[in-house]
Chains A and B, each alone.
Chain A
Amino acid sequence: MPGPAQPGPSTPPIHLAVALDGAGWHPAAWREPGARPGELLTARYWSELVAEAERGLLDFVTIEDSLSLQSSRYTGPDGRTDQVRGRLDAVLIAARVAPLTRHIGLVPTAVVTHTEPFHLSKAIATLDYVSGGRAGVRVQVSGRSDEAAHFGRRTVPPLRIEELASPAGQALLAELFDEAGDWVEVLRRLWDSWEDDAEIRDAGSGRFIDRRKLHYIDFEGSRFSVRGPSITPRPPQGQPVVAALAHATVPYRLVARSADLGFVTPRDTGHARSIVAEIRGEQAAAGRAEETVHVFGDLTVFLDSDPGAAAERRARLDQSAGGEFTGDAPVFTGTPEQLADLLQELQQAGLTGFRLRPAVLPHDLEQITRHLVPELQRRDAFRTAYRANTLRGLLGLPRPANRYATAAV
């Protein structure tokens, strides 16, 4: 259920998420004094990070993933030994953490290009069961030739990231994102393939289910077909939250057509405004104008109570890494108060929330939960307690009707 309206007559509350990845988003983060680089593959490390995010009342955490070893290059492994390498399956990390948390949403990454939508559909539905309605999934395409070679089912041309703007690159992206759209459609149909009250346990007739309330999804796409129904009953949220990261028109379209939530990377408020407008336009074109689609701004953050300290820390990390940190998302360096100013300013451009990428874990996460959140609360811009038990509830998304139940009426 959605929480009550927050104070502040004109401005809705900000939604906040954090993106967890390894020792943090800066490649030298693992060398910081508080880092625990030897524990990145342990359950305790992840449980403690998510518990910290939950203490900060954040909407959800995302957990990054990939089907290849981390690399500083887009096209393949880089052979470097000075950065964190090796990671665990994000869905399983989320499931491992779920019983230890109560309110925070859990949004693992799934690479849609090489995985089976049937398997992921039941995995995310099950994450929803084990978390009591707090599951989401962030869908990610893979255009990497080295990841394709790990599966051997298809080849992907080895394109450098700058070549993605070429006609060949655009064709590849369009194909991968179309397939991702199909993938999400299969997920959603499978989640609806059981009506909520399909299990009847009717001792009189001896029937455990009412099979009229189970539905074949009969999806036919260009890359795969799926018959259904799911083997897992409809999850607690009905539809767990689907999210995607988007940097350009093709992925904006995926967000607008298929997702509940998009992560975008605006350079400034003007850019944010144009991105939101583009997504809203695509959303209307897809007939979803009435549905809530959140647009979250992504920022990598270096936070310290002394603005000089944050800048010094960033410089020190860059020196350790042997180069200036850049990434797909804008980088913020400063105090939690300054970040609160920026978030409120960006919110005016139409963003509904933010996904902050801590440059260093747990330091920048704790700056978010212990300093940014109280600052936003002082400004009546963030919740002071969890007021919903599901991720959809936290995000103000209704529990959707089952498409098949509706069709049957």
Chain B
Amino acid sequence: MSKPVKQIHLAAHFPGVNNTTVWSDPEAGSHVEFSSFRHFAQTAERAKFDFLFLAEGLRLREQGGEIYDLDVVGRPDTFTVLAALAAVTERLGLAGTINSTFNEPYEVARQFASLDHLSGGRAAWNVVTSWDAFTGENFRRGGFLPQHERYSRAKEFLSTATELFDSWQGNEIAADQQSGSFLREARAGAFVHRGQHFDIQGQFNVPRSPQGRPVIFQAGDSEEGREFAASSADAIFSRYSTFEEGRAFYTDVKGRLARHGRTRDQLLILPAATFVLGDTDAQAQELAREVRRQQVSGATALKHLEFVWNRDLSGYDPDGPLPEIDPDPGEHAIAQGRAQVRMYRDPLATARQWRELAAANKWSIRELVIETGNRQSFVGSPATVAQTINSFVQADASDGFILVPHLTPGGLDAFADTVVPLLQERGVFRTEYQGSTLRDHLGLAHPDADAASERVAS
């Protein structure tokens, strides 16, 4: 018996700060002006995507003690852009990363509840953690969260925010002009939270929003991160967009759900994926090679090598061989605020492996960086890409993808115009939105507030 055909979920990530966004292309637009976000969001909505996603940055990256200047630098505020996009879209979900370390639950909960009201039920929160003193230097509470407490704070932050969302059940506002009763319940929004990280009480001042709570996304990949997602998230942003890695991750994370009393359809696995389209597969492959060269200049390649070597390599020739010297085994110091730094947990082994690879293939520094990183997830004609995406989803390598184009704001246009119609023809992607909220798009239940009423009553 064949499995039923799964429906694919698609989202669009407006790329922020990274070296995959090709800013030197004549078609590259602003990364800050609202017109770029509007174009991108309206393309995603035209293609009936589930949601648009914005990442967050709270400190400009540094390398060698200087602000990193080779990639896109600078981005607008996540909440503010999403609220403005709610005015120029009607159904598209609006998801944003908001850090749980340098915010407080009352404030974040009221911002997400407000966004959910102002968008008619389209808000989603990607809960991330950060702990480092480098980022903390921009904030009141500073950078003193011990690393081992980051998930502990994140979990309590999310549970506290959930208590605030649930502090209104949704039926408290009578607004009865005749009787003069605005509220049915004077204690609406009452909460008390006593915990390790938060000790707060009072009344939440945003009534229950259309989705009850925003959709919760999570992006961590560690053991703790996977457990956190399995226990608390509606969707997980994975970084495994290849078939085998995607299947392994999917199996692992979905397998954790039962232990938390949840079913497999209550957590979606959505890897981030890049793509390059061409009229033919061969043309797309050629274009993809050109994009990778644009993404990795010689200067970028040297900076990338510095993450592993933890040394200033500016004297090396990017078109020459890899450094003979070994990485500095000390604490990572050369690069600050970069996610990539954490990817190289054993720099000596990575350096050894890269030298072997480069020697075997006669690769220069730049060629090595191009070949080992930034490989596009889907390269080919629209038919090939549609076929590949569908086969991944039907084989449970994912429930869909978060697409990250290498060009903004127009990098999604071709995908919307050529790949989406092919998925629709196969009956694996919606041709119209069926519901109005993001929960509707994702097939997630609207959380009832019964738990909330019990909490208030107790």
Shortest Cβ distance from residue B229 to the other chain A in the assembled complex, whole angstroms: 25
Shortest Cβ distance from residue B374 to the other chain A in the assembled complex, whole angstroms: 15
Residue of A nearest to B86 (CB): A96
Chain A interface size, as a band, is 35 or more
The reply to whether the CB of B8 lies closer than 8 angstroms to some CB of chain A is no
The reply to whether the CB of A252 lies closer than 8 angstroms to some CB of chain B is no
Chain B interface size, as a band, is 35 or more
Check A43 against B86 for contact (C-beta < 8 Å).
Answer: yes
CB neighbours of A66 from chain B (8 A):
205
CB neighbours of B23 from chain A (8 A):
201, 208
Check A82 against B76 for contact (C-beta < 8 Å).
Answer: no
The reply to whether the CB of B345 lies closer than 8 angstroms to some CB of chain A is no
Which residues of chain A (23-44) have a CB below 8 Å from chain B?
Answer: 28, 30-31, 35, 37-38, 41-43
The reply to whether the CB of A378 lies closer than 8 angstroms to some CB of chain B is no
The reply to whether the CB of B396 lies closer than 8 angstroms to some CB of chain A is no
Q: What 1/0 mask marks residues of chain B from 376 to 401 whose CB sits below 8 Å from any chain A CB?
A: 00000000000000000000000000
Check A232 against B297 for contact (C-beta < 8 Å).
Answer: no
Check B75 against A231 for contact (C-beta < 8 Å).
Answer: yes
Q: What 1/0 mask marks residues of chain B from 31 to 46 whose CB sits below 8 Å from any chain A CB?
A: 0111000100000000
Q: What separation, in Å, do the CA atoms of A229 and B69 have in the docked complex?
A: 14
Check B69 against A88 for contact (C-beta < 8 Å).
Answer: no
CB neighbours of A102 from chain B (8 A):
none
Q: What separation, in Å, do the CA atoms of A114 and B73 have in the docked complex?
A: 29
CB neighbours of B87 from chain A (8 A):
43, 47, 96-100
Shortest Cβ distance from residue B15 to the other chain A in the assembled complex, whole angstroms: 13
Q: What separation, in Å, do the CA atoms of A225 and B290 have in the docked complex?
A: 45
Contact for A30 among B102, B118, B175, CB less than 8 A:
B175
Which residues of chain A (201-252) have a CB below 8 Å from chain B?
Answer: 201, 203, 205-211, 214, 223-229, 231-233
The reply to whether the CB of B452 lies closer than 8 angstroms to some CB of chain A is no
CB neighbours of B58 from chain A (8 A):
118, 231
Q: Is the interface of B mostly helix, strand, loop or mixed?
A: loop
Check B138 against A146 for contact (C-beta < 8 Å).
Answer: no
Which residues of chain A (86-129) have a CB below 8 Å from chain B?
Answer: 86-89, 91-93, 95-100, 114-116, 118-119, 122-123, 125-127, 129
Q: A43-B87, A81-B181, A231-B59 are in contact. Are A152 and B200 (CB under 8 A)?
A: yes
Q: A129-B34, A227-B138 are in contact. Are A86 and B75 (CB under 8 A)?
A: no
Check B138 against A206 for contact (C-beta < 8 Å).
Answer: no
CB neighbours of B73 from chain A (8 A):
199, 208-209, 214
Q: Which of A67-75, A280-288, A353-361, A368-376 participates in binding chain B?
A: A67-75
The reply to whether the CB of A160 lies closer than 8 angstroms to some CB of chain B is no
Contact for B76 among A84, A126, A132, CB less than 8 A:
A126
Contact for A152 among B32, B177, B182, B199, CB less than 8 A:
B199
Shortest Cβ distance from residue A162 to the other chain B in the assembled complex, whole angstroms: 23
The reply to whether the CB of B428 lies closer than 8 angstroms to some CB of chain A is no
Q: A43-B118, A95-B83, A206-B299 are in contact. Are A223 and B140 (CB under 8 A)?
A: yes
Q: Which of B108-116, B259-267, B352-360 participates in binding chain A?
A: B108-116
The reply to whether the CB of B145 lies closer than 8 angstroms to some CB of chain A is no
Q: A81-B186, A82-B182, A224-B140 are in contact. Are A214 and B67 (CB under 8 A)?
A: yes
CB neighbours of B119 from chain A (8 A):
43
Check A86 against B205 for contact (C-beta < 8 Å).
Answer: yes
Q: What 1/0 mask marks residues of chain A from 124 to 143 whose CB sits below 8 Å from any chain B CB?
A: 01110110100000000000
Q: What separation, in Å, do the CA atoms of A119 and B139 have in the docked complex?
A: 9
Check B77 against A125 for contact (C-beta < 8 Å).
Answer: yes
CB neighbours of B110 from chain A (8 A):
67, 88-89
CB neighbours of B344 from chain A (8 A):
none
Residues of B at the A interface (CB closer than 8 Å) are 23-24, 32-34, 38, 57-60, 66-67, 69-77, 79-81, 83-84, 86-88, 102-104, 106-107, 110-111, 113-115, 117-120, 137-142, 168, 173, 175, 177, 180-189, 198-207, 297-300
17 pairs, A vs B, C-beta closer than 8 Å: A30-B177, A35-B177, A43-B87, A69-B205, A81-B184, A82-B182, A89-B110, A92-B80, A95-B80, A95-B83, A99-B34, A118-B138, A119-B77, A150-B106, A151-B104, A203-B24, A225-B137
Residues of A at the B interface (CB closer than 8 Å) are 28, 30-31, 35, 37-38, 41-43, 47, 66-70, 77, 79-89, 91-93, 95-100, 114-116, 118-119, 122-123, 125-127, 129-130, 132, 146-147, 149-153, 194, 199, 201, 203, 205-211, 214, 223-229, 231-233, 320
Complex A-B, nearest 7 residue pairs according to Cβ-Cβ distance, in ascending order? A95-B83, A37-B175, A126-B80, A227-B137, A89-B114, A130-B84, A126-B76
